[in-house]
Structure 1
Amino acid sequence: MRVMELLGMAMRTVIANPLRTILTMLGVIIGVSSVVTLVAIGTGTSDQISKQYEEMGTNLLVVSVNGAGRATQLDYDELMKFEGFPEFTTIAPTMTKAASNIKYDRTQEQYNVIGTNDRYLSIVKGQLDSGRFIAPADVEFRNNVVVLGSEVAKAYFGFLDPVGEQINIDGVVFTVIGKLKEKGSNISGTSVDSAVIVPLETARRQFKLGQIRTTYIEAPTKEDIYKAQETIKQYLTYKFKTDQGYTLTNQDELLKASTAATDTLTNQLVMVAFISLLVGGIGIMNIMMVTVSERTREIGIRKSIGAKRRNILLQFLVEAVVISGLGGLIGLLLGIGISYFLPYFNPEQTTRISVDISIYAFLFSVVVGIVFGLYPALKASKLRPIDALRFD
């Protein structure tokens, strides 16, 4: 029999029992659509995480001091000398005073004050909205100047430009020299929008801050960050006489770890979705067995007029493949539709449809039809004409 003739017969059988066909396809539809949707969500989430890390810079290393006292105290001038090494581009030591009372006119709120140098803006990928950022001279001469994040500036000055105004931070008067553009939170949940930035030495003197707690280090490339990490690790171990007094956080390693965790979770969910496909295949086998029983006399008649075993085998096998293939196609379209429209209902969710996985899911649904349709088709082809004609 010709392939087109077999397909035509299979389609007529499918159309003749639409409700039963849809119910038979249901497991395959759910399985394929789940695979496509889950992979799109997982891939979109990985892209979103990667974008957030890349915005911070995958060539960024963060040094955090764990201990207290002179034994674990970092020296600003020593840290800045590392900028002379080829694996270091920018270094921004910081010290933070949490929940500082900041007052302007009748408004008083609490914000974190960050003491740092002129490199900090490029490290955090921030941009100026007005005025200027901290200059090396501000650090050297301990000037009482301050740069406000967009959220802080809005809280005190609304939509007015704050440059030139004076604010009171824990009883000390500072002159506003700049305002940052709104940036939003990064992957760690922190944001410069709510930051109040002053020169490092000014923060140390005015707020009696003891030591540099966090240092941001930027390397020329993502590959150089591992050289920088090893260099700074040797320096800190030598200085602190131990490797327990500090923590090194490599943004590239964090990105790889987050991506690996997301991919693992996605793969596990996809495996669950493929189980649904297998369940759908069992449903197809069940219905095909029923179909063989219902059409036993038809099989007997066809065999008695010359139909061969392979003709009967192909007839029922093609029917199973058509049912699973149509279910796979509907599931594919449904999964693509859900993946496409999901961000409209949940703007925080990013999706990216994987063409390769979508094709594999559809092909797997066809394979399911072949595997689970083979036994009923073999059973039908092995019926003896005399027994089939006598079947009631």
Structure 2
Amino acid sequence: MAKTIIPIGPYHPLQEEPEFFILTVEGEKVVDIDVHIGYNHRGIEKLSETKTFDQSTFVIERICGICSTSHPFAYTRAVEDIIPIEVPERAKYIRTIIAEGERIHSHLLWLGLAGHFLGYDTVFMWTWKLREEILDVMEILTGNRNNYAMFKPGGVRRDIKSEDIPVVIKKIDSIVPTLEMLKKAVIDDPVIHARTKGIGVLSKEDAINYCALGPTARASGVARDVRKNSPYGAYDKVEWDMIVTHNGDVFDKLVVRVLEVFESIKIIKNCFLNLPGGEIDANIKDIPPGEGIGHIEAPRGECFHYVRSDGTNRPVRHKVRAPTFMNLPTYKATVIGEDISDATIILAAIDPCYCCTERMTVCNIKRKKIYSGKDLIKLSREKTKILRNKMGVK
């Protein structure tokens, strides 16, 4: 049978961000896959190195809107690792509350999009309505629905008002009945089962070999979660369970995220019940020379930040490794042998975030610097000008 090349991207209706996947198919079956990355460079790491340690928090918060707590959480932990310094207990609890609020809205956003990809828009509308309630909660706590601007090296920027806590708990409790209904729909619905069970299976062995992270790995039986294995914040001070399943298919990845939402609700409520008093900021004055690492469990898996200081008020190197960087290669293990019609939902099952993943500061060929970050920006602007002229846009 003749082989055919089918491109997905770099711009595609089912991809929120640009990425290029080349499928080789025989009939309806995928027999090979090639992934081309590099369409989404914004120079975040280089920008961070031009800002003070405090200003960098706001820059990296904008690596991704959905992960706007994950990155500053990992970054601030990296800076605190340089000193090192202990964050006040109340700040640890507040950080945990904000991080779990983000996990809920991230998982609900993914679940709605997954329903949409499958042509099941009822799921899309249910979950995004619930997500609105969580975004309202985040607005009450931080003043923002996204990009919360809560984190800073040494603690948090704003306290949680005692009068807001009952309001927030009531709002969170209000979504639980609909979540229960949604969980039953996912577990019982034959349409969802037909499109997700046994589809895009990532074996436990492959998950380990590819170093998969987060729900992608836990759905394959890999019991790895930074919140449990290397506790930070208040995760070792409140009760909650790690969700692990063993089939590794799209359905199990879906189940893991749905059940994790319930665990996040449990964590938030326990944090509120045990919220200690005291300071919310260690008031860091200077960052000494040294290196620090910070890693946290983002909604998609382990988010890793590396920061180096030379004793000035700015990082001299800031490196980010987002979970999608590790999870994306698993697509090669899961899509080959599957039908073309399932290729996009298998990709979506890892909950890819390309703006988190792709950053470049210098292009080297054989150790010779070809383009610096400024050169890349200059080339991009020149290309934009050429395209605008071709289209007659002023």
TM class by shorter chain equals under 0.3
Q: Which has the higher contact order (CA 8 A, sep 6+)?
A: 1
Asked which structure has the greater CA Rg, the reply is: 1
